[in-house]
Structure 1
Amino acid sequence: MMKAILVLLVAVLYREITGDDQCEEILAPMCRGFLRYRKTKMPNLFGHTTQAQAYRRMERYWANMDLSCSNNFRSTICGVYFPECKTKGTTVSVKLPCREGCLYAKKECRRAFSSYNMAWPTKVLKCKQLPRKKSKNCVKPYKKLKKPRDRQHNFCQPNQIELCNGFNISKVSLPNFFQQDDPQMISTELENYRQLLRSNCSPNLRFFMCGVYQSWCPSNNRPIVLPCRQVCEEVKASCEATYRRLYNGLKWPAKFQCHRYPLPNSTVYPCKASDTITPDDEVPFRG
């Protein structure tokens, strides 16, 4: 019975619909800018009627996406929560990711998931229930990798993110605190907070976000220095309501939850408070 319902939902999702409902810009920071498309339409495969509902459910898989073990993992999991939407006149077409991309990701990520004690999200990504590429009713997958991608552990590296220029620590850790090791991926994710950063909701916001995504690296013996928890608490108190308003009700991101960040006396991770650095007055966004 459940399988029949899922098959029906898949069929509904990639049909063409005629009406007044239009596509909407993807807001989720782990998906926006990483996909071959920018717009989606609710409800999705799981019956979520708003992006905020979908975001709350899929945020738990953010760590899996950051492993970057496959070009197809992020596109597949984002695709089932935020399917592609296109409009032509009054016709709206919605497509899920292709089955082949899901299968590629499952194979390519097997080793990385195992090394981090992560399990394939079987309740969400049931590859065989997605449409095949030959049907032309799904989002084309990326090419299958010839061999698994090796993670880069370079530790102290020059900062490559323009947004984070101007602080008095020039070296950052790769991978960062969230195991992201691709500067382009980090930059793309940071760009999704363009509106929040321009809101000036907190004088510590840019310092905090750069410390989150570009963990400071004083030396290879101490490769990760994070923002102190009190900086996070000030930023969250000042900016959470602004974030919800600017991003159509999305909750404060899991990466910015303050329990993740150390207290000044931490023996696990050293931390920096905002008054220990000297940022430039203004750093432009790329693009």
Structure 2
Amino acid sequence: MPNMLGHKSQDEAATAIRQFSSLVRGQCSSHLKPFLCSVYTPKCVSGRAQPPCRSLCEKAKSECATSMTNLRFQWPEALKCEAFTTESCEEGQDVSVAPTLPTPTCQRITMSLCADLPYNDTIMPNILGHKSQDEAGSAVFQFLPLVGTKCSPHLKPFLCSVYTPKCVSGSRQAPCRALCEQARSGCLPILTIIGFQWPQHLKCEEFTLESCE
């Protein structure tokens, strides 16, 4: 430290890198996390910070383009790939000709909470990074008591759109911001009474209206 962005401590860098949390959880690219770490916690070589690898940046940015559009997230100017070089790429890190990852496919919804939705097919991983419906089901279990209160008719459809997103032509449909806001406003009074807050990882402002049906 400091890193190339001027962060003087790892705590400061950790605060700044949180803007990418939704992309990392969604696993849009296997290259995103290594690239971000090379920027925010760069490798120390002979007492100096090793610059980020340009092709690693380009691969991460390219593979996450769809997710960034869904989340209305713009790639920061400070991380402009053209500003980096391939000279700092280590063996196996220059991914300009890296093999493509297996393409996720639609699968029938088996998670009991979401078995009666208007749609039948989902796709994994979801935006939270759950790789299977079993994993998503274990995570959404925490919301079952809230669903049981019937605080909002929009809560269950919203949760399912996050944990078992609709699969459209082999792609994941992003959650609807308006649906999230309706669920949150309806259930916030109950959450307040029991001393809970709306989860940060389901922050409505991170979703768009473009996916609202």
Contact 1:64 1:113 in 2 (8 A): no
Residues 213, 188 of structure 1: alpha-carbon distance in 2 compared, 3 angstrom cutoff? same
Which consecutive residues of structure 2, in runs of 5 or more, have no partner in the other structure?
1-14, 42-100
Shift in Å, 1:66 = 4.4
Query: Of 262, 271, 274, which aligns to 2:208?
Result: 262
Moved more, 236-245 or 161-170: 236-245
Contact 1:176 1:215 in 2 (8 A): yes
Contact 1:216 1:224 in 2 (8 A): yes
Which consecutive residues of structure 1, in runs of 5 or more, have no partner in the other structure?
1-56, 69-109, 123-150, 273-287
What is the rounded CA distance, in whole Å, between the counterparts of 2:102 and 2:150 in structure 1?
34
Does the alignment pair 1:271 with 2:212? yes
Does the alignment pair 1:167 with 2:117? yes
* RMSD over aligned Cα atoms: 3.2
TM-score (norm 2): 0.53
**Residue equivalent to 1:253:** 199
Residues 62, 242 of structure 1: alpha-carbon distance in 2 compared, 3 angstrom cutoff? farther
**Residue equivalent to 2:159:** 209
**Residue equivalent to 1:180:** 130
Shift in Å, 1:229 = 1.7
Q: Spell out the pairing of 1:119-268 with structure 2 (5 A cutoff).
A: 153-220=103-170, 223-246=171-194, 249-263=195-209, 266=210
Contact 1:159 1:165 in 2 (8 A): yes
Moved more, 249-258 or 158-167: 249-258
Contact 1:64 1:118 in 2 (8 A): no
Contact 1:227 1:271 in 2 (8 A): yes
TM-score (norm 1): 0.40
Contact 1:215 1:225 in 2 (8 A): yes
Shift in Å, 1:256 = 2.2
Contact 1:152 1:181 in 2 (8 A): no
Q: Spell out the pairing of 1:13-162 with structure 2 (5 A cutoff).
A: 66=25, 113-114=33-34, 117-118=36-37, 153-162=103-112
Matched residue type, 2:164: Q
**Residue equivalent to 2:71:** none
What is the rounded CA distance, in whole Å, between the counterparts of 2:162 and 2:26 in structure 1?
16
What is the rounded CA distance, in whole Å, between the counterparts of 2:132 and 2:192 in structure 1?
28
Residues 186, 65 of structure 1: alpha-carbon distance in 2 compared, 3 angstrom cutoff? farther
Matched residue type, 1:251: Q
1:104-136 CA-to-partner distances (Å, cap 9, x unmatched) read: xxxxxx977315x257x98xxxxxxxxxxxxxx
Higher helix share: 2
1:129-156 CA-to-partner distances (Å, cap 9, x unmatched) read: xxxxxxxxxxxxxxxxxxxxxx875231
Runs of 4+ in structure 1 off by over 3 angstroms are 60-68
What is the rounded CA distance, in whole Å, between the counterparts of 2:37 and 2:26 in structure 1?
10
Residues 230, 176 of structure 1: alpha-carbon distance in 2 compared, 3 angstrom cutoff? same
What is the rounded CA distance, in whole Å, between the counterparts of 1:254 and 1:64 in structure 2?
14
Contact 2:22 2:201 in 1 (8 A): no
> Is the partner of 2:106 in helix, strand or coil?
strand
Contact 1:225 1:271 in 2 (8 A): no
Contact 2:22 2:127 in 1 (8 A): no
1:222-266 CA-to-partner distances (Å, cap 9, x unmatched) read: x122342211111111112312333xx232102321112211xx3
